[in-house]
Amino acid sequence: MTAPVEYAVAVDAYLGQAPLSDASRRVYRISLAGWAWPLVGRPIPAGGRRRGAPPPVVPLALLDDPDTAGRLAGALADRAARTGARTVNRELSALRGAIGWWQDLGWIRTDPAAALRHRPPNELAAPLSAAQVDALLRLPASLREQAFWRLLSDSGAPAAALLALDADRLDLDARMVCRAGLAWGEATGQLLRWLLAGRTWGPVFVTGRRAAGRPSRTAADVCHLTGQARLSYRRAAEIFAAATRPLDPAGRGWTLHQLSAVNRGDLPR
């Protein structure tokens, strides 16, 4: 195969032959596209600005540039500060897989990711303090975000587990998830009642738009009443990071894990 000139074309070639499911191929494409910005020395757009932002045009030969390894290392450190270890490791694995394949074909000579290391699962940012949570809950936000953030803080459950909840699993009177042992405070319970507005089945947290044109969605991930799809972890994390960026002295925004790790004893049960 003739070596392509552009990084994006090389990505297409790699994904075209990789033994991946359609869903995994989509995730890999997003991860590999994200590396285009640091390859040319530009920061990856943060939060919602990354969605739909066209990656810069990158010559594939730039991967052999001696300075590329340093740019990738800086980008990896920045991503690790913004998101969880699982996401960072997935994005690094996608890049390493593609680089190895391109090297085997002779399209590039060096591996600029050779010195990069996966992050340990426990390498996570510190939990938010009570003062930080209080500041968060005073932010102007939609009813969905207010309910989700409070539920995350109250229950301490992983964000992905809460996003997977269906309305029929909630006991709103007892303020708990049936058979799961997850509970929440009175204020959170009121927000959940307003959010569900009588819905007794389907995803608790849904997107703002209907799921039309998304055949990959399963029936369980779409509210049959409104046609709205279940809110994804990625989108929830982007919204949270963007909303909390003004509160973060580092200007990066906080992570959902930092909120779920909060241990607050002052919430009424």
> Who contacts 256 (Cβ-Cβ below 8 Å, separation ≥6)?
152, 159, 233, 236, 237, 240
pLDDT tens-digit series, residues 217-261? 466 677 777 778 888 887 888 899 889 999 988 787 888 888 988
Report the b/e string of 233-266 with b at 16+ CB within 10 A. Answer: beebbbbbbebbbeebeeebbbbbbbbbbbeeee
CA-CA-CA-CA torsion sign (255, 261, 267, 269): positive
- The model's pTM is 0.55
What is the domain partition of the chain in residue ranges? 7-104, 130-260
> Who contacts 220 (Cβ-Cβ below 8 Å, separation ≥6)?
166
H-run or E-run covering 228: strand 228-230
pLDDT tens-digit series, residues 52-101? 678 899 999 999 999 898 888 888 877 776 677 778 888 999 999 999 99
Encoded tokens for 35: 């590396």
| Cα 239 to Cα 2, 26, 141, 231, 234, distances in angstroms | 41, 21, 10, 11, 9
